[in-house]
Amino acid sequence: METSKVIHAIYTDDDILMSAVKKVKAERHHIEEIYTPFPVHGLDKAMGLAPTRLAITAFLYGCVGLTVAITMMNFIMIEDWPQDIGGKPSFSYIENMPAFVPIMFELTVFFAAHLMVITFYLRSRMWPFKKAENPDPRTTDDHFLMEIAIHHNEDALLSLLKGTGAAEINIVDKEEDAH
């Protein structure tokens, strides 16, 4: 297995982390990953991450849910066992549509919400029984960790990070294929 060296800079405050990220990005270094105990507002923009496409998937899942609801209610209430709805025995989906709106709404929300959460977990490479990628357990409590890969620029990076108010700077070997 190939190994590479990375720097772990640990911070104790999200504001200091934010300014550190801006300084590191200004020097055109690539930040591998940042581990934080809570979502830090604006961090994705400061890191230069592409905007999330999760909202688009949510919209598509919602459309799937709506389609499922329409198909299902049409089969159950109109085709398979035609129902007289509200004393209006028209046996047509469109004419009985108001009665199905709550179901259409609920399944749209259900599909969008659940599938979006599942998508989010998979996209974040999280699934049951997976070993945590988190390099330092303190980042689940009150520390922030910035991970930067070293490419023959160890000294420059170290001096840069020292100037950003890091509480701790470690150089570690990282297994490249760990995740």
Q: Residue 173: helix, strand or coil by DSSP?
A: strand
First to last CA, the chain: 12
Q: How far is CA 78 from CA 75, 83, 84, 93, 96, in A?
A: 6, 6, 9, 7, 9
71 binds other proteins (CB under 8 A): no
88 binds other proteins (CB under 8 A): yes
User: Shortest Cβ distance from residue 95 to other proteins (Å)?
Assistant: 6
Do residues 21 and 170 touch, judged by C-beta distance below 8 A?
A: no
Binding mask of the shown chain, residues 108 to 147, with x at each position contacting other proteins by CB under 8 A: ----------------------------------------
Q: How many residues bind other proteins (CB under 8 A)?
A: 12
Of the listed pieces 32-40, 96-104, 106-114, 155-163, which binds other proteins according to CB under 8 A? 96-104
Q: Which is nearer to other proteins, 45 or 130 (CB)?
A: 45
Helix runs in 74-142, H state only: 97-123
101 binds other proteins (CB under 8 A): yes
User: Shortest Cβ distance from residue 87 to other proteins (Å)?
Assistant: 5
Q: Which residues of 136-174 are buried (b: 16+ CB within 10 A; e: fewer)?
A: bebbeeebbbbbbbbeeeeeebbebbeebbbeeeeeeeb
Q: Which is nearer to other proteins, 16 or 99 (CB)?
A: 99
45 binds other proteins (CB under 8 A): no
99 binds other proteins (CB under 8 A): yes
Interaction site with other proteins (CB under 8 A): 55, 59, 85-88, 90, 95, 98-99, 101-102
